[in-house]
Structure 1
Amino acid sequence: MTSSTNTQKTFWQRHRLTLTPWLFLLPGLVMFLLYVILPIFQSILISFYEWDGLTVAKYIGLANYHELWQDDAFYTSLKNNLIWLILYMLAIPAGLTIALFLNQTVFGIRLYKSLFFFPFVISQVVVGLVFAWFYDPSNGILAVIYQAFGGKPPAILADERYVTYGIIAAGLWPQIAYCMILYLTGLNNVAPEQIEAARLDGAKGFRMLWHVILPQLRPATFIAIVVTVIGALRSFDLISIMTQGGPYGSSRVLAYYMYETALSEYGYRMGYGAAIAVVLFLIMMVYISFFLWRMYQQEK
Structure 2
Amino acid sequence: MSSTVPATSGYWKRNQQRLAPWLFLAPGMIMFTIYVIIPIFESIWISFYDWDGLGAKTWIGVANYVELLDDEAFYTSLQNNILWLVLYLLAVPAGLAVALFLNQTVTGIRLYKSLFFFPFVISQVVVGLIFTWFYAPDFGLLSALIKAVSGQDIAILADERYVTLGIIAAGLWPQIAYCMILYLTGLNNINPEQVEAARMDGAKGWSLLWNIVLPQLGPATFIAIVVTVIGALRSFDLVSIMTDGGPYGSSRVLSFYMYEQALSEYGYRMGYGAAIAVVLFMIMMVFITLFIVRMLMQERNA
Normalised by the length of structure 2, the TM-score is 0.98
Structural mapping, 1:61-100, within 5 Å: 61-100=61-100
Partner of 1:273: 273
2-11 or 263-272: bigger deviation: 2-11
Paired residue for 1:126?
126
Supply the distance in 1 between the matched residues of 2:168 and 2:231 (Cα, whole angstroms): 11
Q: CA-to-partner distance for each residue in 1:146-195, whole Å, 9 max, x for gaps?
A: 33335213111001111000000000000000000000000000000000
Whole-angstrom distance in 2 between the partners of 1:146 and 1:234: 30
AA matched with 2:244: Q
1:227 and 2:227 are equivalent in the alignment: yes
Aligned alpha-carbon RMSD (Å) = 0.8
Gaps of at least 5 residues in structure 2 are none
Contact 2:131–2:170 (8 Å) recurs in 1: yes
Residue 66 of structure 1 aligns to a residue whose secondary structure is helix
Deviations 1:67-115 (A, max 9, x none): 0011000000000000000000000000000000000122211110000
* CA apart distance, 1:145: 1.3
- Per the alignment, residue 17 of structure 2 pairs with 17
Partner of 1:141: 141
Aligned equivalents of 1:95, 1:196: Cα separation in 2: 24
Supply the distance in 2 between the matched residues of 1:46 and 1:210 (Cα, whole angstroms): 48
Equivalent in the alignment of 1:201:
201
**Retained in 1: the 8 A contact 2:254–2:276?**
yes
Amino acid at match of 1:94: A
Write the letter of the residue equivalent to 1:152.
Q
Give runs of aligned pairs for residues 255-294 of structure 1, distance below 5 A: 255-294=255-294
Contact 1:142-1:153 at 8 Å conserved across structures: no
3-state SS of 2:3 partner: helix
Secondary structure at the residue paired with 1:105?
A: coil
Counterparts of 1:147 and 1:164, CA distance in 2: 21
Q: C-alpha distance in 2, partners of 1:249/1:273?
A: 16
Q: Is the 8 A contact 2:143 2:155 kept in 1?
A: no
Range that drifts further, 176-185 or 151-160? 151-160
Q: Which amino acid is 2:104 matched to?
A: Q
Q: Distance in 2 between matches of 1:67 and 1:206?
A: 51
Query: What is the rounded CA distance, in whole Å, between the counterparts of 2:236 and 2:185 in structure 1?
Result: 28
**How many angstroms apart in 1 are the aligned matches of 2:214 and 2:79?**
32
State the TM-score, normalizing by the size of structure 1: 0.99
Distance 1:44 1:244 in 2: 26
- The one-letter code of the counterpart of 2:210 is W
Does the 8 Å CA contact 1:102/1:109 hold for their aligned counterparts? yes
For structure 1, the 5+ residue unaligned runs are none
Q: Distance in 2 between the 1:186 and 1:152 partners? A: 45
Q: Secondary structure at the match of 1:17?
A: helix
Q: CA separation in 2, counterparts of 1:85 and 1:238? A: 15
The residue that corresponds to 1:34 in the other structure is: 34
Give the total of aligned pairs: 300
Q: SS of the counterpart of 1:53?
A: coil
Structure 1, residues 6-58: CA drift from partner, whole Å, max 9, x if none? 11000000111111111111111000000000000000000000000010000
